[in-house]
Amino acid sequence: MWIQQQFKTRSTDVYLITHPKSGTTWLKGLIFSIMNRHRYDFTSHPLLTFSPHDVVPFMEVDLFKSIPIADPEILLSPRILATHIPYTMLPESIKNSSCPVVYIGRNPKDVLVSLWQFMIKLKPKDMPPISLEDAFDLFCKGISPCGPVWDHALGYWKASIEYPNKILFLKYEEMKKDPLMYTKRLAEFLGHTFSLEEEANGIVEEIVKLCSFENMRNLQVNKTGQHRIREANKNDVFFREATVGDWKNHLTTEMVEALDQITEHKFDGSGLFF
């Protein structure tokens, strides 16, 4: 694949990697805000008028598949690039670089529900909505946009244990519990630690508030805007419930048992859990 062989990293790059529906939009906002906090104040911040997906592009979607092709070489440094590529297929140049990689994983049951709802929103008008049963079957077979969610998370989990200074593995559920602490942790990992003065001035709180689901969902750009390149994509498709455990409202007992069994089997002995 072209992207794997030809992609060139820069020493200043930052990579955000996720399985779809695991918190990509949130992390795009947080990383962008942390790294650019000296350039903007919170009254005229780009995230008030641009979707997080416009300020942090997806490598495989916005840069290599869009027409006209946007050349990643023209992006200014430091580049923040997002991708859903599984670890086994990640360009060697990223693996071999010293660029930080942030991964966020999420409970597979919530990923399934989120993905199912997302597929319904993105379906062409003349197609019937996919049923939960069909979405569940595909998901369990590992037929989802970037392969099985379990293998995706496991690939980065193992790599994060092997290269703890390069890969930060975050969990959506933990971030929801303590976004302030994790925003500081994220900044530290990216080499943009908040100063005592910034902390005293409430900058971390401002960033957490700016990127919070409640705030982002209600911004006009995320309610009625469209993706700059992929115009068919409405920005509001990325904002739904943002809760932990929404699967309880949708999945049957049999579905839960089957998913738990796969999770147990796949993660067995790895130390990974959600």
Residues in touch with ligand A3P (CB under 6 A): 18, 20-26, 110, 114, 117, 211-213, 216, 238-242, 246
- Closer residue to ligand A3P in complex, CB, 160/233: 233
- Closer residue to ligand A3P in complex, CB, 10/228: 228
Residue 103 amino acid letter: Y
Q: What are phi and psi of 128, to 5 degrees?
A: -75, 155
- Work out how close the CB of 118 gets to ligand A3P at its nearest, in angstroms, rounded to a whole number: 7
- Work out how close the CB of 4 gets to ligand A3P at its nearest, in angstroms, rounded to a whole number: 22
Which residue in 197, 216, 194 sits closest to 35, CA to CA?
A: 194
Q: How far apart are CA 274 and CA 272, in angstroms?
A: 7
- Work out how close the CB of 157 gets to ligand A3P at its nearest, in angstroms, rounded to a whole number: 17
Is 84 annotated in the active site? Answer: yes
- Closer residue to ligand A3P in complex, CB, 24/263: 24
C-alpha distance from residue 196 to each of 34, 188, 190, 201, 203 (Å): 15, 13, 17, 9, 10
Q: Which of 19, 84, 152, 227 is catalytic?
A: 84
DSSP letters for 103-167: EEE--HHHHHHHHHHHHHHHS-TTSPPPPHHHHHHHHHTT-SBTB-HHHHHHHHHHHHHH-TTTE
- Closer residue to ligand A3P in complex, CB, 189/238: 238
Contact (CB, 8 A) for 54 and 231: no
DSSP β-ladder status, 80-83 and 167-171: unpaired
Q: How far apart are CA 171 and CA 35, in angstroms?
A: 21
- Work out how close the CB of 116 gets to ligand A3P at its nearest, in angstroms, rounded to a whole number: 9
Instruction: Tally the C-alpha atoms within 13 A of residue 58's C-alpha that lie toward its C-beta.
Output: 19
- Closer residue to ligand A3P in complex, CB, 60/164: 60
Contact partners, residue 186, CB within 8 Å, separation at least 6: 30, 31, 34, 102, 168, 170
The residues annotated with a catalytic role in the active site are 84
